[in-house]
């Protein structure tokens, strides 16, 4: 990506202060930029870098005025952060242009492969698997028999997708995530051993879902573990069998959802949260980091915190008082003594 | 699997109500079944589906009588759930029929490979490794030098088994699990840096163990980290170096067992539990989800909960009162005021 | 490694008690040793094994005197543990002698490969990647485009390193760890969906860092997620985007560091700890297992515990009283009753 500042400014509807003939080739944070870099100031706290940066051009807001002269070309835009984010998006798309089928890779003869795909070396596509158009499957990924990966989905290196899993359009699956492993289901036997309950269901992932590195999603016992459209899962999350996660719910790293629990839409779940099995969480609920949710949540958009999770405000109050427990203990002892003395005095009278 | 209803009924000792000449090809939940499906009703709550399902046949209990006429063929059996579970097991075994060695794969010339194995493409078998009969090693799995995988064990795609690891018979290892990585052992140096303590031991996994996706089991410093027969480990669990886990102990997802801790038999450990190093847990203990166990547990079959974990009943009581802490605080303040007033009145008198 | 006891004793400056002509071939714990084994007693508790072990030779301290005669050759050294640890280190280095490039592997034509490397089968080295001298890349690992792996670093089987990641000298990366996956950054849209914020930064790992199995480190949004020299990360840890971890900080398994948090040097973090985003932790801080750190820690070498984490000593006191909450509740009720009675008596008077 090499582009003149004039051309760039036209693209983003920016007005130039300085020499628009120069060109930029890449992005860089303002303190690390070199003479080929475009940078930005969205927070005035970092404004002073403008006088030391080597950047060729810097995005600033419409009303930004430098305190003193600078050699850097300024490009004034309406919303620096959004403009930068959009440019980064285009840039990262333009970077991700891999196409074709690297060798050696393994594609079963019965697999269907769409147009303009990328299939990296050492990737494996099983029997009757269906791979949509423009899908990118990075090296060392595994797509089991009968699995489906729909159009424009990106599967990074080393993802493992068990047989029968269905993945929608425009998803991003990060390295090491596992979809469709057996649910943790065992019937205790009289001798103390466990008999495996066959896990013959599957995993269904709808459109525009992002799944983080090393996250695991187990297949259902009979039906399907379902991740609805727009769900965002961070790294190292556990999603057990038969779970359903509603649209646009976001879950932070290392959280775990136990078997058969149903999460509604637009829920936000913090890191390291644990949710027990066989419960329901209402749409829009927010669960603070490290909480443990042990009961169904029926109130929409409610906030929860703690282990076990209770109403957020009460949890915060409780934690404040928890810190005072040693002091409270002393105060209770003092009260007991005072009562004793008071009683004694009453008797004396 | 295409089978006539008559034949199926004979297999499972069922009695048919309807046309036994029809045949079924697959299983499906009753609300999703099509005309080739066998389904079941083990919970009468779902009985109403009988009148709308497209299933060819439905397993029901001996004494089940439909409320109204239905086209579905009923197969009456003694125990619907167990029958269904056994059928699913046979079905899933009949599905898993992969055999032979896919190419390209890497098998060291000194490795010993048993009979009737499956070795998927891009699998790696190191020097002097021994692979038993009927072992299935899915694509992209790694079996290090001198490792042993005994008969009938299934290793799903992308499992990594470091050199010297020993795995017993009939085990199931899910994708992304790692066995034999170095234990976390470092000697602090005077300059604040750490010197690695060599981890030269190994991991031993006995028979009929199941290990979940992305679970990690570190090798011992000198001896062996040992997982005894019948142990069931869920996904994303950490088992540190020198740990020993007794027979038929089951551990839920994201739990972590620190170094040198010994777990007894038939223990049940909830999700996200943490157990400190160098302690012992008695047989049959039960540890509630998210608990933190910091001391040896000597009483068999005892129940524990909380962080730090205490006796289960006391933990539940404590949590109930924790919710009342703000109220208790107010009550203590009221008591202090009352005592003050009472004392003042006494003085007045 | 076959060495005479005489030769070994010279190497480690030990004095022999017994027949130095015999030789040893391997290490073993004293209770498992055979006649080719070297073993050690660093803890006198295990001294009794000396009279039953089959070991050829046993390392003991200078002043060790057996209670009764033994056939085992004793080698007296200044510091048994350190001597043994050094020997194990040399032994494990002598074991790890893989070299050369196994086939099939994938090395982009533009990649630079150093001298004396090991590249295992099914490993992938992307465009313009730079691999230093004596680097070992085990099978099925992935080194993305433009990534750098400096001299003497070991990358075990199945590690995934996204494009642009930089790894220093002498590092050890265990199987399944993921470096450079996208940070978890999404801008909420008005319709409840999320728009991905492009993650165009990178991950930088300095020298002598060890990263555990299945640990994940996300790339920065724009700049770099940085792991400084000497850092030791255990298994299944989450390091979010823009995090910086200072020199010689050690983090135990399953801990998680949220986005943009900066950890100082020589910090010790227990297992399953969670640290919120956008805070700073001072050098030398110690955080107990399962703690949740929600605020910046400014005091160096301070100790913290609990969720939310508070001063370690107060946390321990609070936990002691937490166990007494049911009892305290009863005592408060008793006080309320006593006050009521006392007031009643005062009124009576």
**In which band, very low, low, confident or very high, does the pLDDT at B1 lie, cut at 50, 70 and 90?**
low
Mean pLDDT of B24-40: 87
Q: Cβ of B213 under 8 Å from any chain A Cβ?
A: yes
**In which band, very low, low, confident or very high, does the pLDDT at A26 lie, cut at 50, 70 and 90?**
confident
Q: Would the pLDDT of B243 be above 80?
A: yes
Of C91, C102, C236, the CB nearest to B238: C236
Q: B-chain residues within 8 Å CB-CB of C102?
A: 106
Distance CA C276, CA C297 (A): 12
pLDDT tens for each residue of C188-247: 999 999 999 999 999 999 999 999 999 999 999 989 999 999 999 999 999 999 999 999
pLDDT tens for each residue of B118-177: 999 999 999 999 999 999 999 999 999 999 999 999 999 999 999 999 999 999 999 999
Q: A-chain residues within 8 Å CB-CB of B346?
A: 342, 345-346
Of C120, C214, C235, the CB nearest to B176: C214
Segment (H or E) for A287: strand A286-287
**In which band, very low, low, confident or very high, does the pLDDT at C349 lie, cut at 50, 70 and 90?**
low
Q: Which of B179, B172, A254, A216 is nearest to C158 (CA)?
A: B179
Burial (CB count within 10 angstroms: exposed 0-12, middle 13-18, buried 19+), residue B94: exposed
Mean pLDDT of A246-271: 98
User: Which C positions 271-290 lie with beta carbon below 8 A of chain A?
Assistant: 272, 274, 276
Q: Cβ of A308 under 8 Å from any chain C Cβ?
A: no
User: Which A positions 57-86 lie with beta carbon below 8 A of chain B?
Assistant: none
Q: Residue C202: CB partners within 8 Å, gap ≥ 6?
A: C164, C165, C166, C180, C219, C220, C224, C225
Structure tokens belonging to residue A9: 């400014």
Structure tokens belonging to residue B77: 């059996």
Of A104, A214, A240, the CB nearest to B176: A214
Three-state SS at B8: helix
Q: A-chain residues within 8 Å CB-CB of C240?
A: 234, 253
Neighbours of C333 (CB within 10 A): 11
Q: Which chains touch B (3 or more CB pairs under 8 A)?
A: A, C
pLDDT (0 to 100) of residue B343: 76
Structure tokens belonging to residue B34: 């099509």
Q: Residue B26: CB partners within 8 Å, gap ≥ 6?
A: B1, B36, B37, B38
Q: C-chain residues within 8 Å CB-CB of A339?
A: 335, 338-339, 342
DSSP at A79: -
Q: Would the pLDDT of C1 be above 70?
A: no
Kindly name the residue from B48, B76, B174, B241 that is annotated as catalytic: B241
Across the interface, do B162 and C172 touch by the CB < 8 Å criterion? Answer: no
Across the interface, do A248 and C182 touch by the CB < 8 Å criterion? Answer: no
Mean pLDDT of A40-66: 88
For B83-128, give the DSSP string: HHHHHHHHHHHHH----EE-SS-EE-TT-EE-SS-EE-TT-EE-TT
This prediction has a pTM of 0.91
Mean pLDDT of B306-330: 89
Distance CA B213, CA A177 (A): 9
What ipTM goes with this model? 0.90
Tell which wins on pLDDT, B335 or B175: B175
Q: Would the pLDDT of B96 be above 80?
A: no
Of B104, B140, B232, the CB nearest to A186: B232
Neighbours of C51 (CB within 10 A): 13
- Chain centroid to CA C249: 10
d(CA A234, nearest CA chain C) in Å: 6
What is the 3-state secondary structure of chain C?
CCEEHHHHHHHCCCEEECCCCCEECEECCCCCCCCCEEEECCCHHHHHHHHCCCCCEEEEECCCCCCCCCCCEEEEECCHHHHHHHHHHHHHHHHCCCCEECCCCEECCCCEECCCCEECCCCEECCCCEECCCCEECCCCEECCCCEECCCCEECCCCEECCCCEECCCCEECCCCEEEECCCCEEECCCCCEEECCCCCEEEECCCCEECCCCEEECCCCCEEEECCCCEECCCCEECCCCEECCCCEECCCCEECCCCEECCCCEECCCCEECCCCEECCCCEECCCCEECCCECCCCCEEECCCCEEHHHHHHHHHHHHCHHHHHHHHHHHHHHHHHHHHHHHHC
d(CA B167, nearest CA chain A) in Å: 19
Q: Would the pLDDT of C330 be above 90?
A: no
d(CA C192, nearest CA chain A) in Å: 7
Q: C-chain residues within 8 Å CB-CB of B184?
A: 212, 232, 234-235, 252-253
Neighbours of B311 (CB within 10 A): 16
Q: Which chains touch A (3 or more CB pairs under 8 A)?
A: B, C
pLDDT tens for each residue of A286-295: 999 999 999 9
Q: What is the CATH number of domain C100-312?
A: 2.160.10.10
Q: Cβ of C106 under 8 Å from any chain A Cβ?
A: yes
Q: Would the pLDDT of C260 be above 80?
A: yes
**In which band, very low, low, confident or very high, does the pLDDT at A340 lie, cut at 50, 70 and 90?**
confident
The fold adopted by the segment(s) B3-95 is 3.40.1390
Tell me which residues of A are annotated as active site: 241
Mean pLDDT of B104-117: 98
Q: Do B106 and C121 touch, CB atoms closer than 8 A?
A: yes
pLDDT tens for each residue of C6-51: 999 998 999 999 999 999 988 888 888 889 999 988 777 888 888 8
């Amino acid at each position: 990506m090499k582009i003149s500042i004039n051309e760039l400014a036209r693209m983003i509807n920016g007005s130039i202060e300085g020499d628009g003939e120069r060109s930029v080739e890449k992005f860089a944070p303002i303190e690390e930029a070199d003479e080929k870099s475009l940078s930005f100031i969205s927070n005035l706290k970092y404004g002073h870098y403008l006088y030391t940066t080597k950047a060729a051009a810097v995005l600033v807001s419409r009303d930004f005025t430098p305190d003193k002269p600078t050699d850097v070309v300024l490009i004034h835009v309406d919303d620096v952060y959004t403009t930068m984010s959009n440019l980064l998006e285009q840039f990262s798309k333009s970077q991700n242009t891999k196409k074709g089928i690297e060798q050696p890779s393994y594609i079963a003869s019965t697999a269907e492969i769409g147009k303009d795909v990328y299939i990296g070396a050492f990737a494996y596509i099983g029997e009757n698997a269906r791979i949509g158009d423009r899908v990118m499957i990075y090296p060392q990924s595994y797509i089991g028999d009968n699995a489906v990966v729909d159009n424009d989905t990106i599967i990074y290196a080393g993802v493992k997708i068990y047989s029968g899993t269905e993945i929608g359009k425009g998803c991003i699956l990060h390295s090491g995530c596992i979809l469709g492993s057996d649910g943790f289901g065992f019937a205790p036997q009289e001798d103390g051993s466990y008999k495996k309950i066959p896990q013959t269901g599957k995993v269904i992932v709808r459109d525009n879902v992002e799944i983080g590195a090393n996250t695991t999603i187990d297949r259902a016992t009979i039906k399907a573990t379902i991740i609805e459209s727009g769900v965002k899962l961070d790294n190292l999350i556990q999603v057990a069998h038969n779970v359903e996660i509603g649209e646009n719910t976001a879950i932070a790293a290392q959280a775990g959802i136990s078997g058969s629990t149903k999460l509604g839409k637009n829920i936000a779940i913090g890191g390291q949260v644990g949710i027990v099995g066989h419960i329901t969480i209402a749409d829009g609920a927010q669960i603070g980091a490290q909480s443990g949710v042990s009961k169904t949540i029926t109130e929409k958009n409610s906030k929860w915190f703690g282990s076990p999770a209770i109403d957020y405000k009460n949890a915060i109050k409780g934690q404040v008082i928890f810190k005072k427990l040693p002091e409270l203990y002393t105060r209770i002892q003092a009260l007991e003594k005072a009562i004793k003395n008071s009683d004694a005095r009453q008797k004396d009278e």
